[in-house]
Structure formats: structure tokens, C-alpha cells
Chain A
Amino acid sequence: MSDVQTRIAGDVSANDVLLFMKGTPVFPQCGFSAMAVQILNHVGVKFKAIDVLSDPEIREGIKTFSNWPTIPQLYVKGEFVGGADIMREMFEGGELKPFLAEKGVAVEDA
């Protein structure tokens, strides 16, 4: 593995809920990333965000790492869950919270 792939693997295993996004949760730089943040906030889960725009190596490296061409990307307990569409489908279908609970991630009761 190249250095950047090792870095990504480290981040993914060190954070229970990790979102690769464009911009930051407070200032998202893309509508899809903004939606991903909104969904996670709405289900009340604590997450770590990595801004790919501030790190070109991660921005390219994550696409190879996940075999996924776009940002945002959500990882839960080291597993790639999906991008914005899948997050939205899971959220709208009421699956996201049970999925997180099943993975042993704390979610606030809204």
C-alpha cells in the first residue's frame, strides 16, 4: 500500500463513524456533502469528518481505497457504507439508525 492508502486505512479504523467530504460540517463545499452532514446530524450520531479539499492526496486516494468515484463517502466501524445516495436511501427508509445501533455506535434519541 502507498503512504496515502496507509493513512486512509488508519483514519478509517481509528474512527467509528467517518465521513470523507468536501469542506467541513460547518461549511460544506458541495451539496452532496452538505446533505450527508445533515443526515448524520439528524440521526444524532457523533462523527469525524475529513475534508478532502484540504488534502489532494486523500481526495484521489480515497477513490481508489473505496473503489468509489465520488465524495462524500461514509465509513462505519471500518466498513464502507456508501455515498450520498445510499445514505439518503437508508435515512429515508428508516434503516440508518438501526444500522448504526447494530454496529454498536451510539445515537441520540431525537
Chain B
Amino acid sequence: MAMKAADIEKFIKEAFPDAQVEIRDLAGDENHYAATVKSAAFKGKSRVAQHQMVYAALKGNMGGVLHALQLNTGALD
């Protein structure tokens, strides 16, 4: 199973409308991605909390349809 980069971005933008999202398909197999997500919503949150917020935005697809998503999150002012 796989997921399109555009779908991942859509889920993230729905949850964080201000987010700057950059997604790379690491292996070209639509299954191993790296994403950089920056949003004001992450301000003051721990890394674990930031990643959990992104996983929540993906609505259960992470770990299921989507096998691997390397995450790099950061807060926007």
C-alpha cells in the first residue's frame, strides 16, 4: 500500500492551515517519505507532541497505509 505525497500534504494542511510543508519521496516507491512541517501550532510544544500532532493529522494512516514518514517539525512565529 502506498500514499501520494499530495495526499499527505493535504491531510497536514487541513490540520495546520498555516503550515509550510515539504515532502520528499525518499525511495521513489510512494511508501518512504520525509516531511518537514513548520507551523505556528507547534510553538511551545515538545518534539514528541509536535510529531503526535502530525500523526493525528494523518488520521491513522501513519503506521498503516503509510509505512515510513521521517518527520522534521518546527515552530513558526
Which residue numbers of A lie inside 8 Å of B, CB to CB?
32, 63, 67-70, 80-86, 89
Chain A binder among B1-9, B13-21, B65-73 = B65-73
Contacts between the two chains (Cβ within 8 Å), count? 31
Check if A82 sits within 8 Å of B63, measured CB to CB: no
Check if B52 sits within 8 Å of A89, measured CB to CB: no
Which residue numbers of B lie inside 8 Å of A, CB to CB?
47-48, 51-52, 55, 60, 62-64, 68, 70-72
- Please report the C-alpha to C-alpha distance between residue A48 and residue B32 in the assembled complex, in whole angstroms: 28
Give the dominant DSSP class at A's interface: mixed
- B55: chain A residues within 8 A (beta carbon): 68-69
Check if B62 sits within 8 Å of A70, measured CB to CB: yes
Given contacts A32-B68, A70-B62, A70-B63, contact A81 B48 (CB under 8 A): yes
A36 to chain B, nearest CB (A): 13
Check if B70 sits within 8 Å of A85, measured CB to CB: yes
Contact of A85 among B51, B52, B63, B64 (CB under 8 A): B51
Check if A86 sits within 8 Å of B51, measured CB to CB: yes
- B52: chain A residues within 8 A (beta carbon): 67-68
